[in-house]
């Protein structure tokens, strides 16, 4: 009867027990494992190639073809030394950190308040929901948005990078669903005890809704850290405002020309690889810790609005 006990936990184990897998099944197993390993391999190997290239010797690396699976010509950190001598990368880090924190904090506050508002029973509930869903269906496009931001005087200022992308209708609807799932008694108890709407939301409802809330926050963090397009549209001239990704892109592009100088320093060839690692490392190191939460977010995002 152990068979039935395990059923809910592991479907495949049950069927294996019944089937007594034959030769054909074993072949399927091997093929499946090989294909899965192939996907995992392909997912990881490009970054590995860059990581190992960044530790290589510049001159030897230039002459090496194909995949780099181990540092060429011994381990060295010249690329990173060059990279961090460049002050713009430090600016890039601070800017990105600043934009990410402010953008995510502001966006989440707005989305939480909006989501709370459309989850309450008010006479304007339906119009408010429609108001938000309409924005998910149709947008004016990037040029009219640029015109508005230009008219507000935000072009070439950090505001253009923080405010426009901080939240969206989808986040509000997700927060609405999260607040709807909080037991009504908690809300009523808080209200009867005399808490205002904001205090009810912040102190009573939000802690209950933080499962989905933290997902929104994590997704916003990933989006904000990796963003480059808004900066290239709104602050193309102000290099001191550029986020990390745009700085990296610039470094990679400028680096292509270093061979044309009189006596090229081959270790400069490594800068682009070091830059790539420097830009990606924070998220790649952190994401496995939040993997479960982020996975839930993908599922939560599919909830009917």
Partner 1 sequence: MAKVENAYRVSKMSWKKDFKHNWGVYVMFLPIFLFMVVLHYIPMFGIVMAFQDFNINLGYFKSPFVGLNNFVELFSGADFPRAIGNTIILAVLKCTIGFVMPIIFALLLSLLRSKKYKRTIQTCSYMPNFVAAVIVCFLVQQFVKQDGPITLLLHNLLGVDNMNLLADPNPPTFWIIYLVMGIWQGIGWGSIMYVAAISTVSGDLHEAAAIDGASRMQRIFKITLPCIKPTVMMMFVLGIGTSFAGGYDNILLLYMPTTYPVADTIYTYTYRNAFGAGVSPDYALSAASGLFQSIVGTILLMGSNYLSKKASGSSLF
* Binding to partner 1, residues 162-201 (CB under 8 A): 163-164, 167, 169, 172, 188, 191-192, 196-198, 201
Q: Which stretch binds partner 1 (CB under 8 A): 21-29, 83-91, 207-215, 259-267?
A: 21-29
Closer to partner 1 at the Cβ: 263 or 292? Answer: 292
Which one among 5, 23, 138, 261 touches partner 1, defined by CB under 8 A? 138
Site for partner 1 in 51-70 (CB under 8 A): 65-67
Rounded to 5°, the CA angle 185-116-210 comes to 80
Residues 102-121 that bind partner 1 (CB under 8 A): 109-111, 113-114, 116-118, 120-121
Q: Among 28, 81, 101, 181, which residue sits at the site for partner 1 (rule: CB under 8 A)?
A: 28
CA distances from 250 to 92, 245, 254 (A): 11, 9, 6
Q: What is the three-state SS of 138-170?
A: CCCCHHHHHHHHHHCCCCCCCHHHHCCCCCCHH
- Give the C-alpha distances (Å, rounded to integers) separating 183 from 66, 177, 211: 59, 12, 15
Regarding 8 and contact with partner 1 (CB under 8 A), the answer is: yes
Answer yes or no whether residue 152 interacts with partner 1 by CB under 8 A: yes
Kindly state the tokens that stand for 78. Answer: 């010249």
Residue closer to partner 1 by CB (options 133, 177) is 133
Among 81, 90, 124, 259, contact with partner 1 (rule: CB under 8 A): 124
Using CB under 8 A as the binding rule, the residues of this chain from 276 to 295 that contact partner 1 are 276, 279-280, 283-284, 287-288, 291, 295
User: Nearest CA to 112 among 235, 40, 210?
Assistant: 210
For position 44 contacting partner 1 by CB under 8 A, the verdict is yes
- Rounded Cα–Cα distance for residues 273 and 57 (Å): 12
DSSP string, 23-52: HHHHHHHHHHHHHHHHHHHHHHHHHHHHHH
CB neighbours (10 Å) of residue 184? 9
27 lies in the site for partner 1, by CB under 8 A: no
Select from 72-80, 84-92, 209-217, 241-249 the region that touches partner 1 (CB under 8 A): 241-249
Q: Which of 84, 93, 98, 228 binds partner 1 (CB under 8 A)?
A: 228
**Only segment of 29-37, 77-85, 207-215, 257-265 that touches partner 1 (CB under 8 A):** 29-37
- In terms of CB distance, is 57 or 205 closer to partner 1? 205
Token readout for 292 is 């479960």
Tell me how far apart the alpha carbons of residues 72 and 52 are, in angstroms, rounded to a whole number: 8
Token pair of 62, please? 């230039």
The three-class DSSP label of residue 127 is helix
- Compute, in degrees rounded to 10, the torsion defined by CA atoms 284, 289, 293, 299: 50
Q: Which one, 76 or 249, has the nearer CB to partner 1? A: 249
Query: Per-residue x/- marks for partner 1, 254-273, CB under 8 A?
Result: ------------------x-
Stretch that binds partner 1, among 97-105, 125-133, 205-213, 263-271 (CB under 8 A): 125-133
Considering only 44-52, 78-86, 203-211, 260-268, which stretch makes contact with partner 1 by CB under 8 A? 44-52
Between 170 and 210, CB nearer to partner 1 = 170
Sequence-ordered strand ranges (E) for the chain: none
Encoded tokens for 250: 């610039």
């Amino acid at each position: 009867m152990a068979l039935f006990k395990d059923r809910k936990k592991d479907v495949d184990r049950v069927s294996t027990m019944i089937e007594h897998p034959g030769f054909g099944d074993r072949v399927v197993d091997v093929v499946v494992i090989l294909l899965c390993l192939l996907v995992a391999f392909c997912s990881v190997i490009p970054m590995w190639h860059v990581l190992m290239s960044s530790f290589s010797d510049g001159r030897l690396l230039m002459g090496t073809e194909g995949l780099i699976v181990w540092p060429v010509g011994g381990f060295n950190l010249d690329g990173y030394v060059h990279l961090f001598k460049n002050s713009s990368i430090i600016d890039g880090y601070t800017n990105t950190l600043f934009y990410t924190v402010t953008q995510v904090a502001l966006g989440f506050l707005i989305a939480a308040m909006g989501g709370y508002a459309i989850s309450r029973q008010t006479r304007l509930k339906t119009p408010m929901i429609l108001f938000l869903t309409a924005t998910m269906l149709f947008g004016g496009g990037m040029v009219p948005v640029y015109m508005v931001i230009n008219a507000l005087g935000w072009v070439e200022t950090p505001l253009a990078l923080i405010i426009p992308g901080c939240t969206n209708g989808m986040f509000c609807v997700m927060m609405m669903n999260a607040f709807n799932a909080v037991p009504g008694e908690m809300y009523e108890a808080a209200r009867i005890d005399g808490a205002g709407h904001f205090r009810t939301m912040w102190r009573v409802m939000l802690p209950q809704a933080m499962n989905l809330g933290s997902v929104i926050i994590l997704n916003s963090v990933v989006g904000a850290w990796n963003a480059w397009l808004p900066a290239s549209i709104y602050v193309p001239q102000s290099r001191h405002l550029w986020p990390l990704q745009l700085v990296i892109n610039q470094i990679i592009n400028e680096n292509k020309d270093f061979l044309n100088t009189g006596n090229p320093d081959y270790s400069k060839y490594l800068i682009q690889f070091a830059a790539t690692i420097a830009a990606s490392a924070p998220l790649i190191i952190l994401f496995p810790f939040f993997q479960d939460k982020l996975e839930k977010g993908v599922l939560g995002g599919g909830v009917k609005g």
